[in-house]
């Protein structure tokens, strides 16, 4: 089956066409991503209203390009999938409404995909990873350890109680006057810095649950920077290296606990799967490799362009749901908040008849 996927929950306008073969394997026919990073850079972060307007302006062209590269017509598609949340509501409305229009005109099933579910299932598109696996999702908006047991079967083992890891990288970059998005800049500075110079905390380390907390680390970094102000280029490199080391230590500690909780409840995972922009960080990747080895499993990290937001992951999640007969009606609402734990594989109840049926006399 062939599915179009549309992603507009944050600052990427993206569309893709993906094939799901009968044996459950996937193939990407096109994957077009337009980043709005230049529109938001001057503000040091994503401005929701600017994002929504940019999606409106560009989405039609991005979809047309994805269809052309895949050499498909709308009538040849088996499903139209859009991220229906969680995310910035203006953008979500743009993507979901566009998908509904295409589905309605072509009489094709609509699949309203949860953006986090799409990240969670990407490893099945790229590596055919079988269930159950342990997912570490770390992006600008989310930080979670999730037991992925099946399509629509997700158990959250841990999550952040305050900032997401990517957000902490972005805020650190902003504080130190580096560009946006901050993760890649902080990583670049950190490569030639001293990770031991500043004694930063490792929040939550040793806690029996698998939750994260990042805001204390960010505050500690700010206080260290204020103590030595004005800061030199070398100070920036050392601050970035010390921050990244602290984050990596926290990830290792929390994932050790997370994989242990997984094993206690669900047995051995088939893999440790990483998703989200933070998985692009080389130090983070090395740590994940070590944790997977210690947990007696393998690490699966989809290629960078499929770790960050994209349309292929939405199309694939749509295809996985469509294969199970899980489609959505045209009155499906967009969601700003939509926890993964609320996603199920239950078919929606049949709508009530508009008029009660008259019983025969």
Binding positions for ligand KG4, rule: CB under 6 A: 10, 139-141, 166-167, 169-170, 181-184, 187, 276-278, 280-281, 308-309
- Answer yes or no whether residue 309 interacts with Zn ion by CB under 5 A: yes
Q: How far is the CB of 35 from ligand KG4 (least distance, A)?
A: 9
Nearest CB to ligand KG4, comparing residues 160 and 308: 308
Q: What share of the chain is helix, strand, coil (3-state, %, to 5)?
A: 45, 20, 35
Q: How far is the CB of 345 from ligand KG4 (least distance, A)?
A: 24
Pairing of strands 133-138, 26-35: unpaired
Alpha-carbon distance of 159 to 210, in angstroms, equals 7
Quick one: which H or E segment has residue 312? helix 311-323
Nearest CB to ligand KG4, comparing residues 170 and 224: 170
- Answer yes or no whether residue 11 interacts with Zn ion by CB under 5 A: no
Any residues with CB less than 8 A from the CB of 57 and at least 6 apart, and which?
Answer: none
Total residues contacting Zn ion by CB under 5 A comes to 2
Contacted entry of ligand KG4, Zn ion, none for residue 212, CB cut-off 5 to 8 Å set by kind? none
Contacted entry of Zn ion, ligand KG4, none for residue 281, CB cut-off 5 to 8 Å set by kind? ligand KG4
- Only one of the segments 71-79, 213-221, 308-316, 349-357 lies at the binding site for Zn ion (rule: CB under 5 A); that segment is 308-316
Alpha-carbon distance of 248 to 254, in angstroms, equals 10
Any residues with CB less than 8 A from the CB of 325 and at least 6 apart, and which?
Answer: 347
Any residues with CB less than 8 A from the CB of 348 and at least 6 apart, and which?
Answer: 328, 329
Nearest CB to Zn ion, comparing residues 82 and 220: 82
Strands in 110-113's sheet, in edge-to-edge order, are 26-35, 12-20, 2-7, 79-83, 110-113
- Answer yes or no whether residue 139 interacts with Zn ion by CB under 5 A: yes
Q: How far is the CB of 307 from ligand KG4 (least distance, A)?
A: 7
Nearest CB to Zn ion, comparing residues 115 and 237: 115
Q: How far is the CB of 52 from ligand KG4 (least distance, A)?
A: 16
Alpha-carbon distance of 93 to 8, in angstroms, equals 8
Decide: residue 303, CB within 10 A, 0-12 exposed, 13-18 middle, 19+ buried.
Answer: exposed
Q: How far is the CB of 45 from ligand KG4 (least distance, A)?
A: 10
Nearest CB to ligand KG4, comparing residues 169 and 262: 169
Q: How far is the CB of 351 from ligand KG4 (least distance, A)?
A: 33
Nearest CB to ligand KG4, comparing residues 154 and 169: 169
Give one word for 44, left, alpha or beta, with left for phi > 0 and alpha for psi -120 to 50. left
Question: Under the rule (CB under 5 A), what is the footprint of Zn ion?
Answer: 139, 309
């Amino acid at each position: 089956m062939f599915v179009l996927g549309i992603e507009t929950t944050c600052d990427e306008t993206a569309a893709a066409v993906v094939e799901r073969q009968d044996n459950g394997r996937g193939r990407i026919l096109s994957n077009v991503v337009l980043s709005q990073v230049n529109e938001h850079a001057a503000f040091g972060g994503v401005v929701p209203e600017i994002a929504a307007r940019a999606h409106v302006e560009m989405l039609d062209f991005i979809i047309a390009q994805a269809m052309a590269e895949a050499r498909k017509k709308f009538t040849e598609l088996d499903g139209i999938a859009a991220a229906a949340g969680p995310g910035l509501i203006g953008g979500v409305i743009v993507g979901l409404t566009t998908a509904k229009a295409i589905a309605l005109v072509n009489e094709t099933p609509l699949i309203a995909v949860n953006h986090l579910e799409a990240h969670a299932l990407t490893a099945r598109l790229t590596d055919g990873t079988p269930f159950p696996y342990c997912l570490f999702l770390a992006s600008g908006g989310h930080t979670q350890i999730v037991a992925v047991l099946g399509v629509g079967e997700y158990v959250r083992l841990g999550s952040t109680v305050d900032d997401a890891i990517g957000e902490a990288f972005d805020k650190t970059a902003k504080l130190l006057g580096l560009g946006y998005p901050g993760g890649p800049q902080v990583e670049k500075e950190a490569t030639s810095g001293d990770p031991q110079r500043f004694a930063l905390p490792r929040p939550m380390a040793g806690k029996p649950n698998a939750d994260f907390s990042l805001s204390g680390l960010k505050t500690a970094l700010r206080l260290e920077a204020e103590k030595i102000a004005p800061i030199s280029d070398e100070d920036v490199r050392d601050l970035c290296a010390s921050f990244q080391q602290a984050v990596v230590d926290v990830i290792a500690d929390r994932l050790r606990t997370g994989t242990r909780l997984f094993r206690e409840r669900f047995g051995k995972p088939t893999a440790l799967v990483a998703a989200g922009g933070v998985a692009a960080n080389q130090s983070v990747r090395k740590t994940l490799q070590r944790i997977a080895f210690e947990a007696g499993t393998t690490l699966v990290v989809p290629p960078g362009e499929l770790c960050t937001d994209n349309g292929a992951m939405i199309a694939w999640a749509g295809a996985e749901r469509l294969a199970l007969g899980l489609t959505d009606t045209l009155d499906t609402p967009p969601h700003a908040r939509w926890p993964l734990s609320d996603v199920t594989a239950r078919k929606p109840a049949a709508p009530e008849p508009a008029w009660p049926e008259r019983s025969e006399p």
